[in-house]
Each structure stands twice: as structure tokens, then as C-alpha cells.
Amino acid sequence: MSAPSPSTASSSASSPHQRLLTLWGEIRDFAGIEELLEWDQETTMPRRGVAGRAKALGTVAAAKHARLTAAELVETIAEAAAAAPAGSVEAGQAAEARRQVERAVRIPARLASELAEARALGQAAWQEARRRADFAAFEPHLARLIALKKEEAAVVAPGGNAYDALLDVYEPGATSAALNPLFTRLRGELSPLVKAVAEAGRPVDEAPARGHFPFAAQRALALELVAAIGFDLEAGRLDGSTHPFCVGINPGDVRLTWRWQEDDFRPALYGVLHEAGHGLYEQGLPPAWFRTPLGDAVSLGIHESQSRLWENQVGRSRAFWQWALPRFQAHFGSTAGLEQLWPTLHVVRPSLIRVEADEATYNLHVLVRFELEKALFAGDLSVAELPAAWDDLYAEVLGVRPANAAEGVLQDIHWSMGSFGYFPTYTLGTLAAAQLFAAAERTCGSFAGSFAGGDFSALLAWLRSNVHRHGSTLRPAELVERATGKPLGPEDFMTYLRGILQAIYQL
């Protein structure tokens, strides 16, 4: 089987549905190539390759965009939709293709290509700026990216809310109007909890989590754990990068990245479990739908629900550690017991770095970014004012103030990639993780026994069946409601969190 060019596809006598899949396959191939090029840039590429890589990414983005907006595709979708029985998979494929095409046709090829190149240059500048804690070196790139994304929002949703137009890419159907009350409620419930922990005066002894954890042992343990939860290492890898992430190049090639420090095992281990949760979703997408409109994940929020679930509901549970502890002890030569180690995984303490934040403060980190993004896109905040605004908001919401831009506004990769409206999906995912896990236990019974025996297959099977196998047939809100029996809300997350804090801090 070959991947025919568009002209081959159009001249064949196959059905509109078949022609749609042929055209879509190429689009998905280019998306996978973009993922690989970006992964390579972050993990492997020599420093001086940046300019050439930016050109290549621009060309791939333009090629993908040209195919996504080609008249031939628009016509084929219409024909496929007309020919498909209502409610059939074929109708779903055509509908999902149309949704994506309708957004893309509004974006001119020039803008798509400029964005791709600005992202490549922006990422390189960010890496260097972060290393030197020098916001000024990143500022012009960020300004350029925001200008281009404002342009994108204006053509995609003329006259509408610019920020919502960007949010919709990551979380179809989400709006800042709907998110505002959710974040307000979370802040209202989380702030007193965080304060109560501080006032409880029962600090966790973190000694068992600190010491010397050699890189090679951390890597060996991480690989052992991700394999145990079901991540297929023959269809994936783990490599170092400045910022951990996961790419699904294709279902047989899912790559996790991580970073590590040798004086504390927790940041690396939970980073890897988090990315492996994403990876399990990518590896679990329906293989028969690979290279079709319905073959990818529902949304970033649902993607994040999978990473948070494996990181927190599984990886920080007592049951998981009943199984993992001997492995931990063997890899690090540690003699720490469960009662010493487990509390160190739930330390609540306002801090500066989102990806290393605890479960109680994490959503407050997201809230800071959500507020700043809204202000940037509403024109209420300039890029020059951003670092100070960041620091002030951290001081106000979390009570801590960054000492420099590397531990402040430069900490995350997202903005350097032109990803605005992405951060709120972290909170949506965190809430969905708790809600999905609670629903899975209602169906399957408590997982504690199987986790303690190192068996995670029942949970993975439930997620495969209720989340992964759907591809993108459902909208995020619909998927959560079907899988859990109720709309997405903060209740299960708050119940989970209060349970943890009660166990650790006797709140």
C-alpha cells in the first residue's frame, strides 16, 4: 500500500469516504512529521540546526495547511457526508474532517507558515533565554507569536473573543466565560486548604525523598514503572529535554521526554508517570482509525486527564507504593518504609514551578497563566509588562515570588510554541482525572488490591474502553458525561484532595 498523492486519489474510482481517508492520511503524516521535528529539536538537534529546522517546519506546516484547505478536500468531505448513513462512522469521519477544515480554511497559507517558523525560532530563543534567565532575549519572539495568534483569532472568529478562539483548538467547546466560575470556585476552595496545611504545623519529613539518586537508577526505575502500567517501550522511548512532553508520532512511535535532578527522585519520576499517561492514551487510540479524522485524541483536557490520573490517582496512591517500594529500595539502595516515603509524595507547599507543584496548589499555577493569557489577548497587558505581572500574581495567589525569570515567566515551553489557551486544559484534565478514576472504581471496585500486586490492567482496560477507543468521536464534555454519568465538575477532585490532606496532615 502506498500513500498516493492528491491527484492519484482524485482520479481513482474509489468511494468519497475512501478518498477522504486517502487525503486525510497525508495530513496526518505531516502532523506526525511536525511532532518528530519538534521532538528532535528539543532532544537531539545540534544548536546550529535551528535556522534550517525553522525553514523545514515552515514548509511542512504550509504543506499540511495546503492539503487541509484544498478545494478537493472540501468537496470530498461534502460528497462523503452526503453519501454516509446518518449516525454512521463514515458520517462521523466526514463531520470531524469538516470541523477541522472549517477552521483551517480561514487561516491564510502565509500566516500558517509564519506561525510555524515563529514557533521554531521562538522555542530556540526560549531555551537559551531560560538557560540564562533572560526574558529580554525571548521578548521579541513572544511579541511576534502573540501578534500572529491574535491575527489567527481574528480570522478564525471575526469579532469574537480572541482568547476563546484559541482555547477552542485545544478544548472544543470551552470558553473563558465557562471557565471563569470554575477557576473562581477552585481558588475559593483551594486557598483556605493550602492555608490550613501551613497552619497545621505538621510538616512532612522529606528526608526519604532526598539524598543521592543517580541518573541511571532513576532511569531504570522509571522505565520499569512505565512498562508495568502498560506503556509499550517497543512502541515508544524516553529521552531528556528541557521541558517534559509526549509526542504521538504514530501509534507505534510514542515518545516521552523527561528531566531529572539527582538530589530528589520525585520531579523526574512524576514527570515520567505523567507523560506515560499521555503515552498510554496515544498508544491506545484505535489503530484502525490511524490517519483518519476520528483517529486522534478528543482534546487536550481529556489528554491531560490521562496523564494526571496515572501520575496522581495511581502513582501517588498508597496501593501503588505497596508494590513499588521494594523496587524503589532496590534501585536506590534505600531503606525508607512506606510510612516514611508515602507522605513525601503529598507535600503541600506553595512553590514556583508548575510541573513540580503539588496537587493542592497545581490549579493555582494554572489560574495564574489563565489570567495572564486572557489579559494579553484582551490587550490589557503588554509583553513588556508580563514578567512583573507574573511575579505579582504568584505573590498574590500563591504567596511566593520568583527570584528570576527562569523560575518565573520563562519556566514553561508553551508560549514559545505559540500555544495560548493550552494551560486551562491542565485544570480541566486534573478535574476529569479524579472524576474518571472515581467512576472506574464505581464500576470495577477498588483498585487498591490489584495496584498493591503490581497489576494495573483492569484500570487500563476501563480507560481503553471508556476513553481511548473513542478516538475523537465525542466532544470532551460528552465523553466525561458518558464515562462518569455526570458533567465535569470539581467535586471528585476536591473529595480526592481532602482525603489525601486528611491522611497526611490530619486536616
Q: Which residues bind a copy of itself (CB under 8 A)?
A: 1-5, 7-8, 25-26, 29-30, 32-33, 36-37, 40, 44-53, 55-56, 58-60, 62-63, 65-66, 109-110, 113-114, 117, 232-237, 249-255, 290-291
Told to judge if 42 belongs to the known catalytic residues of this protein, a careful annotator would answer no
**Taking Cα atoms as reference points, which of 217, 208, 451 lies closest to residue 327?**
217
| Cβ proximity to a copy of itself, 174 vs 254, nearer residue | 254
Q: Rounded to whole angstroms, how far apart are CA atoms 78 and 447?
A: 46
| Cβ proximity to a copy of itself, 29 vs 275, nearer residue | 29
- C-alpha cell at position 63: 504543506
| Cβ proximity to a copy of itself, 207 vs 233, nearer residue | 233
Q: Rounded to whole angstroms, how far apart are CA atoms 233 and 344?
A: 29
Contacts 24+ apart (CB under 8 A), 408-413: 408/352, 409/135, 410/126, 410/129, 410/130, 410/133, 410/135, 410/138, 411/130, 411/352, 411/353, 411/354, 411/355, 412/243, 412/354, 412/355, 412/369, 413/123, 413/126, 413/242, 413/243, 413/245
Residue 495 CB, nearest distance to a copy of itself (Å)?
A: 38
Which residue in 96, 152, 275, 311 is the catalytic one?
275
Residue 62 CB, nearest distance to a copy of itself (Å)?
A: 4
Residue 357 CB, nearest distance to a copy of itself (Å)?
A: 31
| Cβ proximity to a copy of itself, 47 vs 177, nearer residue | 47
Residue 227 CB, nearest distance to a copy of itself (Å)?
A: 13
| Cβ proximity to a copy of itself, 52 vs 445, nearer residue | 52
Q: Is 2 helix (H, G, I), strand (E, B) or coil?
A: coil
Angle at 356 between CA 355 and CA 362, to 5 degrees: 70
Residue 265 CB, nearest distance to a copy of itself (Å)?
A: 25
| Cβ proximity to a copy of itself, 69 vs 472, nearer residue | 69
Burial of 186 (0-12, 13-18, 19+ CB in 10 A): buried
| Cβ proximity to a copy of itself, 47 vs 339, nearer residue | 47
Number of CB atoms found within 10 A of residue 159's CB: 5
Q: Is 248 helix (H, G, I), strand (E, B) or coil?
A: strand
**Taking Cα atoms as reference points, which of 442, 361, 5, 58 lies closest to residue 198?**
361
Q: Rounded to whole angstroms, how far apart are CA atoms 63 and 57?
A: 10
**Taking Cα atoms as reference points, which of 360, 277, 263, 283 lies closest to residue 315?**
277
| Cβ proximity to a copy of itself, 33 vs 95, nearer residue | 33
Q: Cell 536506590 sits at which residue? A: 332
Instruction: Find out whether 50 and 119 touch, Cβ atoms under 8 Å.
Output: no
Number of CB atoms found within 10 A of residue 180's CB: 13
Residue 367 CB, nearest distance to a copy of itself (Å)?
A: 35
Residue 406 CB, nearest distance to a copy of itself (Å)?
A: 22
**Taking Cα atoms as reference points, which of 152, 172, 170, 171 lies closest to residue 162?**
152
Residue 30 CB, nearest distance to a copy of itself (Å)?
A: 7
Q: Rounded to whole angstroms, how far apart are CA atoms 314 and 318?
A: 9
**Catalytic amino acids?**
275
